[in-house]
Amino acid sequence: MSEHFRDMPRVARLYWVALFCLSIPVFVCAVPISHSAIVPWLVVIFAVASIVKPIPHPYGGIVHPISGIVLVTSLLWEPQDALLGVGVGCLLGLLVFRRTELWKAGSNAVGWSMGALAAAVVAHLVLRSVSFFSVSLVLAAMLSGGTRFLTNQIIFSLSRSLRFGHPFFPHLRHSLASGLVDELFPMPLIIILAGTAFLLPAAVWRLIITAAYIPVLPVPRRRCDSSPESQGRSQATTAMVSEFPRNPAAALRMGAGILASAEMYDNTYATLSPAIRAAALEVAEGQPAVLEEGEPDPLIVPSVVSVGNELRAALADKSA
């Protein structure tokens, strides 16, 4: 079910309205100094890149695997061109190809374009300051990627915090930590593409190399959706559940497996419990707080057996 702009909390709506109002002068100032021969092609490239299906974010909203091509654009093109290409291109792509609501397309386009602008500014400062090409390219890619990542995480973490009620700083810290590996994953390819483009004099080659990153965009989603662990769990769960109506013995086998695992846990807990409690007392000796002895942790096996008996009684009553 789609979420309408009016359904968001008032503070979240005010946040995005303020962000839109602040971004409009930036776009207006970028238009006169942009390159008219480059920006339309960047718009087309990012409109096509928006076709890739986004990844659902665990805290709400989406994560679009567009960061790699944004970083390539930030390295190869001027900040004003990157800003307009990413912003306008993503807006049109999300509206036309993804059929996204206007406020969602606009908020994503604004957030991504601000990240692209910040990354492009940092990248060009580094490229102009460091004379040795190889060092400057690697340093520009790393610093501009970190700048884009931090900018986007701040913008969208604050949005999710206002929309879904997550504490901002813990959520931002989790987003930064969980997304760092995915941010570094395409960096070698980005450096190779950007280095190749800098060695070619014509601007058309830079456009071709920018667009060449588009086939790589679905890779993060395939890595997320097709991990062996998630597929194995999903297939095993589906197989067990599908057997219940036709083969009641499948339910008994699964129940026996759960009971065996619970019994193993209880035995391990009973063996390690004295050592764990002794270690906890030693750690707490230097603390001013008083460690109070509470109720012992319940064993799992009796709980599982109790639940099983209640379930069997409920099924018997239903069948009767």
Does residue 207 have a pLDDT over 80? Answer: yes
pLDDT at 95: 93
Question: Of 203, 226, 249, which marks where a domain is finished?
Answer: 226
- pLDDT > 70 in the chain, percent: 64
56, containing H or E segment: strand 55-56
Instruction: Work out the average pLDDT over 305-311.
Output: 59
* DSSP 8-class letter at 10: H
pLDDT tens profile 23-46? 999 999 999 999 999 999 999 999
Virtual CA dihedral for 288, 294, 298, 299, nearest 10 degrees?
60
The answer to whether residue 181 sits within a structural domain is yes
Residue 186 dihedral angles phi and psi, to the nearest 5°: -90, 5
Does one domain contain both 248 and 205?
Answer: no
Does residue 314 have a pLDDT over 50? Answer: yes
The answer to whether residue 37 sits within a structural domain is yes
The answer to whether residue 292 sits within a structural domain is no
Does one domain contain both 211 and 282?
Answer: no
Alpha-carbon separation of residue 184 from 119, 180, 243, 259 (angstroms): 15, 6, 43, 43
Instruction: Work out the average pLDDT over 231-253.
Output: 47
Does residue 304 have a pLDDT over 80? Answer: no
146 vs 291 pLDDT, higher one: 146
Does one domain contain both 27 and 168?
Answer: yes
Does residue 157 have a pLDDT over 70? Answer: yes
Q: Yes or no: say if 86 and 46 are a contact pair by the CB < 8 Å rule.
A: yes
Residue that is written with structure tokens 């086939």 in the block: 215
Does residue 135 have a pLDDT over 90? Answer: yes
Does one domain contain both 207 and 61?
Answer: yes
Does one domain contain both 238 and 140?
Answer: no
5 vs 256 pLDDT, higher one: 5
The contacts found for 271-274 with CB under 8 angstroms, 24 or more apart, are: none
Instruction: Find all residues with CB under 8 Å of 263, minimum gap 6, and list them.
Output: 300, 301
Question: pLDDT category, 311, cuts 50, 70, 90?
Answer: low
Question: pLDDT category, 63, cuts 50, 70, 90?
Answer: low
Q: Using CA atoms, how far apart are residues 120 and 34, in angstroms rounded to an integer?
A: 14
Name the residue range of residue 246's domain: 234-286+298-319
Does one domain contain both 199 and 134?
Answer: yes
16 vs 253 pLDDT, higher one: 16
pLDDT at 181: 78
Question: Of 183, 202, 226, which marks where a domain is finished?
Answer: 226
Q: Yes or no: say if 194 and 26 are a contact pair by the CB < 8 Å rule.
A: no
Number of structural domains, the chain?
2
Q: Yes or no: say if 214 and 193 are a contact pair by the CB < 8 Å rule.
A: no
Does one domain contain both 222 and 248?
Answer: no
CATH number of the domain residue 57 falls in: 1.10.1760
Q: Yes or no: say if 87 and 93 are a contact pair by the CB < 8 Å rule.
A: no
Give the number of other Cβ atoms within 10 Å of residue 71's Cβ: 31
Q: Give me Rg for the CA atoms of the chain.
A: 27
Does residue 125 have a pLDDT over 70? Answer: yes
Residue-averaged pLDDT of the chain: 77
DSSP sequence for 208-275:
HHHHTTGGGTTHHHHHHHS-HHHHHHHHHHHHHHHHTTT-HHHHHHHHHHHHHHHHHHHHHHHHHHHH
Instruction: Work out the average pLDDT over 305-315.
Output: 59
pLDDT at 218: 67
Most confident of 98-102, 139-143, 195-199: 139-143
Q: Using CA atoms, how far apart are residues 120 and 4, in angstroms rounded to an integer?
A: 33
Does residue 152 have a pLDDT over 70? Answer: yes
The answer to whether residue 291 sits within a structural domain is no
Does one domain contain both 68 and 95?
Answer: yes
Q: At what angle do helices 187-199 and 67-76 cross, to 10 degrees?
A: 30
Question: Of 189, 204, 226, which marks where a domain is finished?
Answer: 226
Reading the block at residue 96, the tokens are 């036309």
- pLDDT > 90 in the chain, percent: 41
pLDDT at 84: 96
Does residue 235 have a pLDDT over 50? Answer: no
Q: Yes or no: say if 39 and 82 are a contact pair by the CB < 8 Å rule.
A: no
Q: Yes or no: say if 178 and 31 are a contact pair by the CB < 8 Å rule.
A: no
Instruction: Work out the average pLDDT over 277-297.
Output: 43
Q: Using CA atoms, how far apart are residues 20 and 264, in angstroms rounded to an integer?
A: 57
The answer to whether residue 219 sits within a structural domain is yes
Does residue 236 have a pLDDT over 90? Answer: no
Does one domain contain both 60 and 176?
Answer: yes
Does one domain contain both 17 and 162?
Answer: yes
Does one domain contain both 214 and 264?
Answer: no
Does one domain contain both 74 and 206?
Answer: yes
The answer to whether residue 293 sits within a structural domain is no
Nearest residue to 161 (alpha-carbon basis) of 177, 150, 174, 172: 172
The answer to whether residue 315 sits within a structural domain is yes
Nearest residue to 24 (alpha-carbon basis) of 114, 158, 116: 114
Instruction: Work out the average pLDDT over 159-176.
Output: 86
The answer to whether residue 305 sits within a structural domain is yes
Residue that is written with structure tokens 């990413």 in the block: 86
